[in-house]
Amino acid sequence: MRIFFVLEQAPHAFSLGTLPFLCYFLYAILVKTITIALPSDSEFYVPLGVLLATFLFYRYILHPALLSPLSRIPKAHWSCSISPVWILYARYNGRENRTLHRAHQEHGPVVRVGPSELSVNSLDGVKTIYQGGFDKHEWYSVFENYGVPNVFSASSAKHHSVRKRMVSHVYSKSYIHSSAALAAQASAVLNGRLISLLDASTTAAQAPHGIDVHSLFSAAATDLITAYCFGAARASDFVRNKAYRRHWQALYAARKAGSFFEQELPRLSAAARRCSLGLLPGGLTPAWVGAANREIEDWCRAMSDAALEDLRSGRRVDAADDPVVVRALVAGLEKEERESGAASPVYATAIRRRQLTVASETIDHVLAGQETTGVALTYLAYHLSRSPDLQRHLRAELLSLRPSMRLRNSDRDGNDSSDGMAMLDPKQLDALPILHAVITETIRRYTPAGGPEPRVAPSPSCRIGPHEVPGGTRVSASVYNLHRDERVYPDPERWDHSRFLPSGGDGDGDADERLKSVNRHFWGFSSGGRMCLGSNFAMHEMKLIVGAIYSNYTSHVVDDAGIEPTDAYTGHPASNSLYLRFEKVMTDG
């Protein structure tokens, strides 16, 4: 990695003025190297070598540095026009988001970060890229599972559209709010598991009452999304099964840590795999990453296959055991085959591989849903735990609903009740302004999936802002950067839920316009046809979990060491933990 360090430390002043001299120097070295390598007594080979050197120099140095339309776009670093090493170094070291943020602060909303790569940080640029139907970059191919694409990994807009139609309706807000299956599943997870665990933690025997909520919230999110995908009877039980939960979360951390080469340098990794004579079956990816991937895939495949078998058997199930997502996928695949047959763009990859398609799609929903929801809830609980006043305001709002999520028949002495909580009308829960504001601000500030989302500029070219961008260029915007626009979010590093609170109908036009602006610039779930499929599900489950906890308990920080977020595509607390203490609320006030 020494070349990365040299490039990173090289002065930024070494840029446009010195680039022609660098080009000439590199060309001279290239010619000399090739002519030395060729037979010196041949009148044929030496001219051929010079011709080859000239071609390579033009293709990889002269054209990208001085002649490409991208050469007129500000560079994040002097080397970016001829090498991707600068941005790869930032990604490899897990500091891409902050690095790009500094680059945009110095060079503007469109910055060149590689010979054929741009970073974009403007609302207009986002509209052009993400609402303009740009195809996804091959970077997303690493999200294929079992060798089969899914909605998230599909590169072309056409393939994505077909896959999305099969399942998107069960993730719409109207479907989620009216789903009897989801209501029953949520009650099973919250009443039967989460609240019981929190209640037990308040007893004297559990002193000093510290719970790692980062692990717990990820567990609750996993249990909810697997129940929605496969039915409660086939779903995970991570809230209660702490031992396996810890093991699984360690596997997932290993899976994430080893994806750099497969994602950023797939051809180099493939070459290493081919040339290693079987010694590097994973290419440049460590073998333990492959082992972790296989165990997680086997775990999810077992649930997916069991849900498919339940559907094939035709047996009647309770609402909680309905595999909503698997049922939708099966129906969608059948409809696509019936209407399009072999002409379907996903005939070979989906219709003919139905079992693996269902498994690939559902594991993507599970892995994405558990991580980002768990991180967001962790940081939300952290800020609430530091503000007793805000907890009181939030609780008052939650208890204003009828029925509320207060534990039913719990007596004033705090004795446990088996009646549990009522599952609220989702529309009422969704309309609570403080609850919505604290969740939205947490997503804005901590961006659980905040990294760049690469797309490919269409051929022959397009315009992003004032710049002409050749087809095939990798272009990206990131939630992290968009949510740090100081014109929209003053003091953006500060967590301030009031950014997203309405004015209260007092006729303050400036306040109303401010709220419209902050909502317009909020990009926590991306935008356009390829925005997060599970955004409505994520918001609903977070509101349910927060409502369940803070209607009945107060929370207090026990240990927040390592709470600072990592700088990665999906960030999380550096320590992967946050310990909170919960206390029962004895009154409804």
User: Which H or E element spans position 224?
Assistant: helix 213-230
CA distances from 218 to 274, 361, 370 (A): 38, 19, 5
Separation between Cα atoms, residue 372 and residue 450, nearest integer Å: 10
Shared-domain flag, residues 190 and 240: yes
CA dist 359 and 352 (Å) reads 14
Looking at the domain assignment, is residue 545 inside a domain? yes
Burial of 106 (0-12, 13-18, 19+ CB in 10 A): exposed
Same domain, 374 and 261: yes
3-class DSSP assignment, residue 116: coil
Q: Is the pLDDT of residue 575 over 90?
A: yes
Q: How many CA atoms lie within 13 A of 347 on its CB side?
A: 9
List helix spans (H) across 231-286: 242-257, 260-264, 266-275
Q: In Å, what is the CA distance from 521 to each residue of 15, 484, 515, 526? A: 33, 10, 10, 10
Q: How do residues 122-141 score in pLDDT, each as one tens digit?
A: 999 999 999 988 999 999 99
330 and 322 Cβ atoms separated by less than 8 Å: no
Q: How many helices (H) and strands (E) does the chain have?
A: 23, 10
In this structure, the answer to whether residues 190 and 262 fall within a common structural domain is: yes
Residue 45 has pLDDT above 80, yes or no: no
Indicate whether 513 belongs to any domain.
no
- Contact yes or no for 8/89 (Cβ under 8 A): yes
In a domain, 493, yes or no: no
Per-residue pLDDT at 418 exceeds 60: no
Phi, psi dihedral angles at 102 (to 5 degrees): -65, -40
Which pLDDT value is given to residue 411? 42
Q: Residue 510: what pLDDT?
A: 79
Residue 238 and residue 200 share a domain: yes
Does 437 lie in the same domain as 577? yes
Beta-bridge partners for 75: 112
Task: Assess whether 249 and 180 both reside in one domain.
Answer: yes
Q: Are residues 431 and 572 in the same domain?
A: yes
* CA torsion through residues 400, 401, 402, 404, sign: negative
Residue 421 binned pLDDT confidence (cut-offs 50, 70, 90): confident
242 within domain boundaries? yes
Q: What is the pLDDT of residues 197-245, one digit of tens each?
A: 999 998 776 666 789 999 999 999 999 999 999 999 999 999 999 999 9
Choose the final residue of a domain: 93, 115, 143: 143
**Domain span at residue 38?**
2-143
Enumerate residues 6+ apart whose C-beta is below 8 A from 534: 171, 225, 365, 368, 369
Lowest mean pLDDT among 356-365, 401-410, 467-476, 518-527: 401-410
Indicate if 173 and 126 belong to the same structural domain. Answer: no
Domain boundary among 108, 143, 178: 143
CATH number at residue 166: 1.10.630.10
Task: Please compute, for residue 189, the number of CA atoms within 13 A of its CA located in the half-sphere on the CB side.
Answer: 35
Both 213 and 345 in a single domain? yes
Residue percentage of the chain with pLDDT more than 90: 70
Q: Would residue 489 count as lying in a domain?
A: no
What pLDDT is recorded for position 257? Answer: 76
- Name the residue with tokens 């995970």: 236
For residue 478, is it within any domain? no
Is residue 373 included in any domain, yes or no?
Answer: yes
Phi/psi at 149 (nearest 5 deg)?
A: -70, 165
pLDDT surpasses 60 at 41: no
pLDDT band at 5 (very low <50, low <70, confident <90, very high): very low
Residue finishing a domain among 92, 108, 143: 143
Q: What is the dihedral of CA 407, 412, 417, 419, to 10 degrees?
A: -40
Return the pLDDT at 553: 96
3-class secondary structure, 95: strand
CA distances from 340 to 153, 167, 336 (A): 22, 17, 6
Q: Is 247 domain-assigned?
A: yes
Among 11-15, 313-317, 511-515, 520-524, which stretch is predicted with the lowest mean pLDDT? 11-15
Residue 414: pLDDT band by 50, 70, 90 thresholds? very low
CA 289 to chain centre: 19
AA identity, residue 409: N
Judge if 137 and 172 occupy the same domain. Answer: no
Q: What is the total count of domains within the chain?
A: 2
Let me know whether 161 and 118 are in one domain: no
Q: How many Cβ atoms are within 10 Å of 497's Cβ, its own excluded?
A: 25
Q: Are residues 376 and 350 in the same domain?
A: yes
